[in-house]
Amino acid sequence: MTQPVTLTLNAGSSSLKFSLYDISGEPVQMAVGLVENIGRQPRLKANLGEALPRAERDLAASEAADHKSALATVLALLREHFPAARASVVGHRVVHGGPRYSEPMTVTEPVMDELKRLSPFAPIHQPHNIAGIEAAQAAFPDALQVACFDTAFHRHHPKENDMFALPREYYDKGIRRYGFHGLSYEFVSGELKRIAPQLHAGRVVVAHLGNGASMCGILGGRSVASTMGFTALDGLPMGTRCGQVDPGVIFYMVQQEGRTIDEVRDIFYNKSGLLGLSGISNDMRVLESADVPAAHEAINYFVFRIRRELGGLAAALGGLDALVFCGGIGENSRKIRRRICDGLDWIGLDLDHDRNDDNARVISTEFSRARIMVIPTNEEIVIARAAKRLLQQSAAA
């Protein structure tokens, strides 16, 4: 007897994250894992559920030479442990959906053409997302492929928030603010609606803080402003990405230092952020334990930019009812949360240090005018739910 499941895939430049969900009812995760260092020294890590041992091993180069072979390795593992599972739909995280896609889409040939056209808008993400879709199409030729876009949650922004002060023709060409991490924000917003509907209906800033970092202002469950813009490079400093920077820096690097555009792109995307500022690591855990000035300065800048953006987003929302932390740093770093929140009573935030140290869900005091919360994000369940929904719609058509 077969078991209906969906496979969710999140393809990065050198990694492939996957989850397997039982979709006979509300999606329930059966397995989760990733293949990292694809094409170099690949390694598989997987949690196959409570009844099965955790799988972790180095892979031969041929087992993960590219995304296609990495997916084949993952499927062999899943078939071994879940022989009854049959993937009738595969859900994909796709970073950029452009101005056209404001909700998950079934992947058709025209959709794939549009995703490829958008690759210059997200050069370090989109090509690998596409490679993941193509690998899944080859592995599951009869399955429905569903693309879920990180930009979709932000597609209802007021126009003045999406525009740059460039000649209008560039807006028409698609040069505008898109915002990213939308799957994470959609999950957090949905959780707020479930556990605190009065906050969901109000003015919320969500801080998705991790190796990729951004913040989003949400009003009545809808995104109205985001720190990320045209690409996933803008806004907050990240693990290796610079965040907001004066475009004149690019002119200087090209004209005065003689760098190529590809060299500048590499600096901005791969050698900046916490790594570039500290000269040590892009991992906040390493920086917090490193007692050296450069590490302190990198953390200070990270916190400063978050506090500055928080003020701007609160202004865009007309006030603040809640601040929610998510992402690897937001969910786990008590020190960063404390440094962000301390002294922000003027905006209505009063952090309870004991609750924060305990990693409680609500970490504000009883007297705080705005709630401070920690909600672990789950992008995969958002993808699984969308995949099931589109599968049902396809079957009903």
CATH number at residue 133: 3.30.420.40
Domain that holds residue 94: 3-149
Residue 308: per-residue pLDDT: 98
Distance between CA 217 and CA 314 in Å, rounded? 7
Residue where a domain stops, chosen among 124, 149, 174: 149
Residue 354, classed as helix, strand or coil, is: helix
Average pLDDT over residues 331-340: 98
- Residue 247, burial from CB neighbour count under 10 angstroms (0-12, 13-18, 19+): exposed
Average pLDDT over residues 39-65: 88
Among 71-80, 111-120, 203-212, 338-347, the minimum mean pLDDT is found in 71-80
Average pLDDT over residues 158-181: 94
Number of structural domains in the chain: 2
Say whether both 142 and 255 belong to one domain.
no
Residue 50 pLDDT grade (very low, low, confident, very high; cuts 50, 70, 90)? confident
Say whether both 140 and 188 belong to one domain.
no
Say whether both 143 and 23 belong to one domain.
yes
With CA atoms as reference, report the closest residue to 375 among 200, 230, 169. 200
Residue 51: per-residue pLDDT: 66
Assigned domain for 129 exists: yes
With CA atoms as reference, report the closest residue to 19 among 390, 381, 389. 381
Catalytic residue among 150, 234, 321, 352: 150
pLDDT value at 164 more than 90: yes
Q: What does the buried/exposed string (b/e) look like for 338-361 if buried means 16 or more CB atoms within 10 Å of the residue's CB? A: ebbbeebeebbbbbbeebbeeeee
Assigned domain for 396 exists: no
Assigned domain for 379 exists: no
Residue 299: per-residue pLDDT: 98
Say whether both 30 and 140 belong to one domain.
yes
Catalytic residue at 150? yes
Going from the C-alpha of 396 to that of each of 190, 258, 267, the distances in angstroms are 26, 59, 49
pLDDT value at 92 more than 60: yes
Residue 67 pLDDT grade (very low, low, confident, very high; cuts 50, 70, 90)? confident
Assigned domain for 387 exists: no
Residue 307, classed as helix, strand or coil, is: helix
Residue 4 pLDDT grade (very low, low, confident, very high; cuts 50, 70, 90)? confident
pLDDT value at 314 more than 90: yes
Say whether both 324 and 208 belong to one domain.
yes
Output 353 or 14, whichever has higher pLDDT: 353
pLDDT value at 1 more than 70: no
Residue 90's H or E segment, with its range, is strand 85-94
Assigned domain for 196 exists: yes
Output 132 or 226, whichever has higher pLDDT: 226
Assigned domain for 397 exists: no
pTM summary value: 0.94
Residue 156: per-residue pLDDT: 87
Distance between CA 244 and CA 224 in Å, rounded? 19
Say whether both 61 and 10 belong to one domain.
yes
Say whether both 275 and 128 belong to one domain.
no
Residue 370, classed as helix, strand or coil, is: strand
Q: Quote the crossing angle between the two packed helices 379-396 and 182-195, to the nearest 10°.
A: 90
Residue 225: per-residue pLDDT: 96
Say whether both 267 and 145 belong to one domain.
no
Among 24-38, 103-117, 182-196, 252-266, the minimum mean pLDDT is found in 24-38
Order of strands, sheet of 371-374, starting from the edge strand that comes earlier in the sequence = 222-226, 214-219, 203-208, 322-326, 371-374
- Mean pLDDT computed over every residue of the chain: 94
Residue where a domain stops, chosen among 149, 173, 192: 149
Say whether both 99 and 13 belong to one domain.
yes
Say whether both 250 and 292 belong to one domain.
yes
Say whether both 137 and 269 belong to one domain.
no
pLDDT value at 40 more than 90: no
Say whether both 25 and 87 belong to one domain.
yes
Residue where a domain stops, chosen among 149, 164, 193: 149
pLDDT value at 213 more than 60: yes
Q: Which amino acid is at 333?
A: S
Assigned domain for 203 exists: yes
Q: What percent of the chain has pLDDT over 90?
A: 85
pLDDT value at 13 more than 90: no
Assigned domain for 245 exists: yes
